[in-house]
């Protein structure tokens, strides 16, 4: 990153005879809208000299692209503790605690992740516009990616939709799942007007979830879930649909006094870095409340554990 609100990209050309416009589109994934902005600003350099987007490049040329933030941060900074799992000049990955809303809404105009990151970036001297690439429910913990400029946001959003992302969650569900792994393909639709609740319904949008059972308890199971689509409440709805709602999820049938929110944690995410093209994998350990629930289940708080059953057999 250069000055505040300024982002630099460099790219070494590997073949002859292609236009700079084509290289930016194919190699860096620049959108048409971004290319229009660059044409207007004129901040594309070829070997250090200003260049037209229609100019041809040859192998060995170095292209430098300067992106300037055209917006100003929309929320006021608030000093809210953050657990930064990964950060560089282009993006930030936060391990979000349960109870923290990702972005301001009608009911949460302050105290959100957006406000916390505004403070974090301000202390670094590089205030950025809050550009979440995806979201988590307020009471779901774990990894959230926030882009620091519109190009990074567009590239990561495209990766998410194309399946290039890998997103894994850990969930503790009610009941002992018999199989060791499986998939749930069931369309998800909104329930009623104005409600955030969702349900499996024929008129819904296609949704696909893969799951793997990691551990079995008496009356509960620990599963690792991979999202292949990103519908609202997808994991919670799908697991409830197969008769194993997430423990603590009082919306979809998993209510329990053992945990105050749904036992769902976004534990792993992998993506291709928009600037370096390297594969990035970020992990986040389980938060204290889910870890405590696992300890309680291991101790047989809902009855004898699966391990005890095996020993008795």
pLDDT in tens, 216-266: 999 999 999 999 988 999 999 999 999 999 999 999 999 999 999 999 999
How would residue 282 be classed by pLDDT, with cut points 50, 70 and 90?
very high
Report the pLDDT value the prediction gives residue 302, as an integer from 0 to 100: 59
Question: What mean pLDDT do residues 132-147 have?
Answer: 95
pTM for this predicted structure: 0.80
Catalytic hit among 79, 89, 137, 249: 137
CA dihedral 168, 172, 173, 176 (to 10 degrees): 110
pLDDT at 31: 78
Question: Residue 194's pLDDT is what?
Answer: 65
The more confident residue out of 285 and 303 is: 285
Q: What is the mean pLDDT of the chain?
A: 88
Residue 303: which pLDDT band, with cuts at 50, 70 and 90?
very low
The per-residue pLDDT for 108 is 76
Q: What are the pLDDT digits (tens) for 171-213?
A: 999 999 999 999 999 999 998 766 789 999 999 999 999 999 9
Domains of the chain (ranges; CATH) run 6-68 (3.10.290.10), 70-162 (3.30.2350.10), 163-313 (3.30.2350.10)
Distance (Å, rounded) from C-alpha 69 to C-alpha 274?
Answer: 17
The residues, any chain, with a CB within 8 Å of residue 311's CB and separated by 6 or more, are: none
Q: Which pLDDT score is estimated for 106? A: 78
Q: Determine how β-strand 208-217 pairs with β-strand 220-227.
A: antiparallel
Question: Distance between alpha carbon 72 and the CA centroid of its chain, in Å?
Answer: 23
So what's the pLDDT on residue 158? 86
pLDDT-wise least confident of 46-55, 148-157, 294-303: 294-303
Q: How confident is the model at residue 69 (pLDDT cuts 50, 70, 90)?
A: low
> Bridge partners of 270?
166, 281
pLDDT for position 71: 64
More confident residue, 165 or 127: 165
Select the more confidently predicted residue: 239 or 304. Answer: 239
State residue 163's pLDDT score. Answer: 83
Who wins on pLDDT, 287 or 311?
A: 287
pLDDT digits (tens, 9 = 90+) for 6-60: 677 788 898 888 998 888 888 877 878 778 877 776 688 889 888 888 889 999 9
At 301, the pLDDT band (50, 70, 90 cuts) reads low
Instruction: Round to the nearest angstrom and report the end-to-end CA distance of the chain.
Output: 62
- Confirm whether 88 is a catalytic residue: no
What was the pLDDT predicted at 243? 96
Q: What is the mean pLDDT of residues 76-83?
A: 94
Crossing angle of helices 32-41/150-162, nearest 10°? 160
What local confidence, expressed as pLDDT, does residue 6 receive? Answer: 65
Q: Are strands 141-147 and 264-272 parallel, antiparallel or unpaired?
A: parallel
| pLDDT in the model for residue 309 | 42
Closest alpha carbon to 59 in 17, 13, 26: 13
Which pLDDT score is estimated for 305? 40
Question: CB under 8 Å to 313, separation ≥6 — which residues?
Answer: none
Contacts for 187 with CB less than 8 Å, ≥ 6 apart: 200, 201, 202, 203, 204, 205, 206, 207
Distance of CA 227 to the CA centre of its chain: 11
């Amino acid at each position: 990153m250069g000055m505040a609100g300024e982002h630099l990209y460099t790219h070494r050309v590997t073949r002859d005879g292609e236009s700079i416009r084509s290289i930016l589109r194919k190699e860096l994934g620049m959108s048409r809208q971004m290319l229009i902005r660059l044409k207007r600003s004129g901040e594309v350099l070829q070997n250090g000299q200003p260049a037209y987007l229609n100019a041809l490049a040859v192998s060995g040329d170095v292209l430098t692209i300067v992106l300037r933030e055209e917006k100003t941060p929309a929320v006021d900074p608030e000093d809210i503790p953050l657990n930064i799992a990964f950060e560089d000049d282009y993006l930030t990955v936060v391990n979000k605690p349960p109870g923290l809303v990702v972005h301001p809404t009608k009911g949460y105009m302050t105290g959100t992740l957006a406000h916390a990151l505004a403070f974090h970036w301000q202390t670094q001297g590089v205030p950025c516009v809050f550009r979440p690439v995806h979201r988590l429910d307020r009471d779901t913990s774990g990894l959230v990616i926030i882009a620091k400029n519109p190009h990074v946001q567009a590239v990561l959003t495209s990766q998410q939709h194309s399946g290039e992302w890998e997103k894994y969650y850990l969930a503790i569900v009610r009941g002992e799942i018999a199989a060791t792994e499986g998939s749930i393909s069931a369309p998800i639709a909104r329930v009623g007007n104005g409600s955030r609740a969702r349900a499996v319904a024929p008129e819904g949008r296609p949704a696909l979830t893969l799951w793997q059972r990691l551990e079995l308890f008496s009356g509960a199971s620990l599963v690792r879930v991979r999202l292949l689509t990103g519908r609202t409440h997808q994991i919670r709805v799908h697991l409830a649909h197969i008769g194993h709602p997430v423990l603590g999820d009082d919306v979809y049938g998993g209510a329990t006094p053992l945990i105050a929110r749904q036992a769902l944690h976004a534990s792993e995410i992998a993506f291709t870095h928009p600037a370096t093209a390297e594969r990035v994998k970020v992990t986040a350990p389980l938060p204290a409340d889910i870890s405590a629930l696992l300890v309680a289940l291991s101790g047989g708080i809902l009855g004898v554990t699966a391990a005890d059953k095996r020993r008795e057999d």
